Structure 1
Amino acid sequence: MQHTKVSFGSLWRGAMASITPSYDREGEHIGWKVSVRKKGFPSQYQTFRTRKEAEAWAVIIESEMTRGVWRDRSESESTTLKECIERYLSEVTPHKKNQHPEELKLQQWLRRPISKRFMASIRGKDVADVIKDMESEGKSKNTIRLHLAVLSHLFKVAKTEWGMEAISNPCEAVRKPRLPQGRDRRLVDNEETRLLDACRDENPDILYIVRIAIETAMRRSEICGLQWENVNLARRVAMLPDTKNGTVRRVPLSSDALEVLSALPRRIDGLVWDVNADTVTRAFKRCCKRAGIEDLRFHDLRHEATSRLFEKGLNPMQVAAITGHKTLQMLKRYTHLKAEDLAKLLG
């Protein structure tokens, strides 16, 4: 079979693109090979299924070279998202403070068809299609946003550190799922008494952990990781050296919190409790079910404790120092004051 080569001059001086048909081993025409050459730039090559796609790509490359905005696409056009995810897991994730959740999200991206696409070919529409898939799988809006955040950072790293300057971040071109209003679940009526009774029946540790959560506004992970060397009963302070925000926090201990900690025995390993966060969550769910309490999560106790601090008359800066919130806007999401208590302050 005769192979024909078609060249066409660029609209801009000094650049030339050539397009040649591509054949398989049996001589069947399978596409078009494009090469673009311009003095001062490395030659660019690409293969397309149709002649129209080949010509469009050549025009774009020539235009960018002539205007001085061209960026080398070879790396992004020959590297798949799968390869980038594997590299990210090897080079970036290990340096993150909380690696496991990110690893799980990236593993899910690896299992999706989009991971087989070359980085340069992934568009906002492709990511939008994955968002629809996640919604059909029953993922929450916040979970989807977290998946997108991981992918977005991967594209940022690929663009700034892995030689893929020409790619655009497809996550920036899609509409993120809108988050629902923040939860405002508070303990009402006699729920606290019923909850504590159920925790007492479950085991002493979960009872003490729930009481500490209500009194200190500490997160589940902070409570489970608490060590005796960081608890000063005399000064009524618990130091948290490893918090979600990455800063050291000193939490004042109320009389009830002090009573709980004073009654606990000292462990040889230095931990206040021998229990992990997932165990606390499962036990808490059982206690709520036993107490007949619906739609209450362990993290809601942080909401409850934060609101109680305001109800005691502390100002926002004082509350933020206890809870560890970085901004007043973040603090507002966790603060839901009872109208009847505010009415008492009004006189």
Structure 2
Amino acid sequence: MASITPSYDREGEHIGWKASVRRRGFPPQYQTFRTRKEAEAWAVVIESEMTRGVWRDRSESEGTTLAECMDRYLLEVVPTKKGGRREVDYVNQWKARPIAHLYMSSVRGKDVAAAMRDMEAEGKGANTIRLHLALLSHLFKVARTEWGMEAISNPVESVRKPRLPQGRDRRLVGDEECRLLAACQSVNPELAAIVRFAIETAMRQGEIMGLAWDAVNLAQRTVTLNETKNGTKRVVPLSAAACKVLSELPRRIDGKVWAYGQEGVKYAFPAACRRAGIKDLRFHDLRHEATSRLFEKGLNLMQVAAITGHKTLQMLKRYTHLRAEDLARMLDRARP
């Protein structure tokens, strides 16, 4: 039977109501509430679950805050995930929000929705918010399956996710490629080589900048990527132009292909675009450009996916922006 008793602090002040549920075959359950009505409602739920055989121990989730779970997630889970450095920042941002002070058992969809509104007010984009939500959702999944919090539900599942904007369709137009390469050449010849290589291979910026000579086989015209964004090894075929870029580079003592690092390109590429008078072009747009060119060369879906490393048609479509005039020429070539 459940019992509801008043709860007092050390000075004898009434601070709430303590609900106790004792039933044979189950550990005693205790919880303190501000009002007697809340205590009675909680006791009814616990007794009903015990009667129906669906009760789960809530003591772990009712005594652990989201912030404490974030710390544990940072220690146990993040180091095992690819891209963990970025998730460290996500964890710290979650810990700074009001929701972090709630106990795991009390986090509800409305709390997550409030955090989403705060993120929108801070100027975060839809995709960034979805990445934050993905981390929170995975934390609740781990808490349920590995940390003894089977009774909690995942509050992320009950909120509406922000709609992703339509994928960028920015491609090089007119003489932009020539202007861009000329500007890169004036900044640093290696920067121009990096841009040419990106346009020829459709590789990600991180894959290009992390390239080492032991992954390059100019005889077979391939680059082997053992570490990729999706965790799958990929062998990228090299066009004659891509091979020419690499063959003209000096060999470095440290084994790296480029003297530039990611941070260097992060600042040098926008500077080259400004010098060339090119607006709204990001380095990642070169991957879109290269992927689209592969289709325009006549490669089929599976061939392009094998080169770019996209695992789903949906993602490949977001990276492909075919020009109508190029498709028209392909139709003419296809005529019998």
CA distance in 2, matches of 1:276, 1:34: 60
Describe how 1:8-157 pairs up with structure 2 within 5 A: 16-157=1-142
Which amino acid counterpart does residue 345 of structure 1 have in structure 2? M
**Corresponding residue for residue 177 of structure 1:** 162
Identify which of 254, 260, 272 aligns with 1:275. 260
Is 1:252 matched with 2:237?
yes
Is 1:265 matched with 2:284?
no
Is 1:243 matched with 2:251?
no
* 1:332 Cα deviation from its structure 2 partner: 1.2
Higher mean alpha-carbon deviation, 167-176 vs 278-287, is at 278-287
* 1:36 Cα deviation from its structure 2 partner: 0.2
When the two structures are aligned, how many residues end up with a matched partner?
332
* 1:236 Cα deviation from its structure 2 partner: 1.1
Deviations 1:102-123 (A, max 9, x none): 0000011111111111000100
* 1:26 Cα deviation from its structure 2 partner: 2.2
**Corresponding residue for residue 284 of structure 1:** 269
C-alpha RMSD of matched pairs (Å): 0.9
**Corresponding residue for residue 198 of structure 2:** 213
Structure 2 SS opposite 1:47: strand
Identify which of 192, 203, 210 aligns with 2:188. 203
**Corresponding residue for residue 5 of structure 1:** none
Higher mean alpha-carbon deviation, 71-80 vs 268-277, is at 268-277
**Corresponding residue for residue 301 of structure 1:** 286
CA distance in 2, matches of 1:24, 1:229: 69
TM-score of the two chains, using structure 1 as the length reference: 0.94
* 1:282 Cα deviation from its structure 2 partner: 1.5
Structure 1 SS opposite 2:294: helix
TM-score of the two chains, using structure 2 as the length reference: 0.97
CA distance in 2, matches of 1:174, 1:274: 46
Structure 1 SS opposite 2:22: strand
CA distance in 2, matches of 1:278, 1:161: 38
Report the identity percentage: 73
Structure 2 SS opposite 1:46: strand
- 5+ residue gaps, structure 2: none
Structure 2 SS opposite 1:38: coil
Is 1:339 matched with 2:313?
no
* 1:245 Cα deviation from its structure 2 partner: 1.6
CA distance in 2, matches of 1:112, 1:310: 45
Higher mean alpha-carbon deviation, 245-254 vs 273-282, is at 273-282
Deviations 1:31-71 (A, max 9, x none): 00110011110000000000000000000000000000000
* 1:125 Cα deviation from its structure 2 partner: 0.1
Displaced runs of 4 or more, over 4 A:
none
- 5+ residue gaps, structure 1: 1-15
* 1:276 Cα deviation from its structure 2 partner: 2.2
* 1:278 Cα deviation from its structure 2 partner: 2.6
Which amino acid counterpart does residue 73 of structure 2 have in structure 1? Y
* 1:275 Cα deviation from its structure 2 partner: 2.4
